[in-house]
C-alpha cells in the first residue's frame, strides 16, 4: 500500500488544473445565464398531425403541417395590433411570406390544401354550364 501524502502536497501539484476547471465552469455558467438554454431545433415543433386520406386525397407531412400551423399563427398576429411597431409588423410579414412560398412549392401537383379537412384534395374544377347559350343569328 502506498503511504498517504498530506493533502497540501496534492494541492500544490494540481492547483493550476483546479483553477482552470473552476474558470471553465464559471465561464460556462455565465454563457448559460446570459443566453438561456440553447434551442434544440430552429423550426417549430411539429404538432401531432393525424390524417386519414380519402380517395384522391393526400396527407401532408408532419413538418409541412407544423409550418402551416406556424403560418396560420403569424397571420393571426398580423391583424392590427397597436402594440407592434412597424419594424415588427414588417418582420412578421416577411416571415409569413417566406413560409407561404415554401408551402406552395411543396403542394403536390393537381392538389390544393383544404383548411377544413387538413389534407390535400384535388383542385376544384370550374363549374360547367349544363346548357349552351343561344346562338345569335345574323
CA 64, CA 47: separation in Å to the nearest integer?
A: 10
Q: What are phi and psi of 55, to 5 degrees?
A: -65, 140
Residue recorded with cell 393537381: 110
| pTM score over 0.75 | no
CA 125, CA 48: separation in Å to the nearest integer?
A: 32
Cα 52 to the center of its chain, rounded Å: 23
What pLDDT band is residue 27 in, cutting at 50, 70 and 90?
very high
Q: What is the pLDDT of residues 31-84, one digit of tens each?
A: 888 887 666 555 555 557 788 888 889 998 888 888 899 888 888 877 766 777
Residue recorded with cell 386525397: 57
Q: What is the pLDDT of residues 98-111, one digit of tens each?
A: 999 999 899 888 89
Amino acid at each position: 500500500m502506498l503511504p498517504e501524502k498530506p493533502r497540501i502536497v496534492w494541492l500544490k501539484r494540481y492547483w493550476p488544473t483546479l483553477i482552470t476547471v473552476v474558470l471553465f465552469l464559471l465561464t460556462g455558467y455565465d454563457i448559460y445565464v446570459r443566453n438561456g438554454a440553447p434551442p434544440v431545433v430552429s423550426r417549430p415543433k411539429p404538432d401531432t398531425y393525424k390524417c386519414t386520406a380519402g380517395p384522391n386525397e393526400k396527407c401532408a407531412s408532419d413538418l409541412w403541417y407544423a409550418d402551416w400551423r406556424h403560418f396560420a399563427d403569424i397571420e393571426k398576429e398580423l391583424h392590427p395590433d397597436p402594440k407592434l411597431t412597424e419594424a415588427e409588423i414588417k418582420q412578421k410579414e416577411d416571415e409569413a411570406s417566406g413560409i407561404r412560398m415554401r408551402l406552395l412549392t411543396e403542394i403536390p401537383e393537381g392538389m390544393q390544401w383544404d383548411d377544413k379537412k387538413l389534407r390535400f384534395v384535388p383542385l376544384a374544377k370550374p363549374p360547367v354550364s349544363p346548357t349552351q347559350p343561344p346562338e345569335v343569328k345574323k
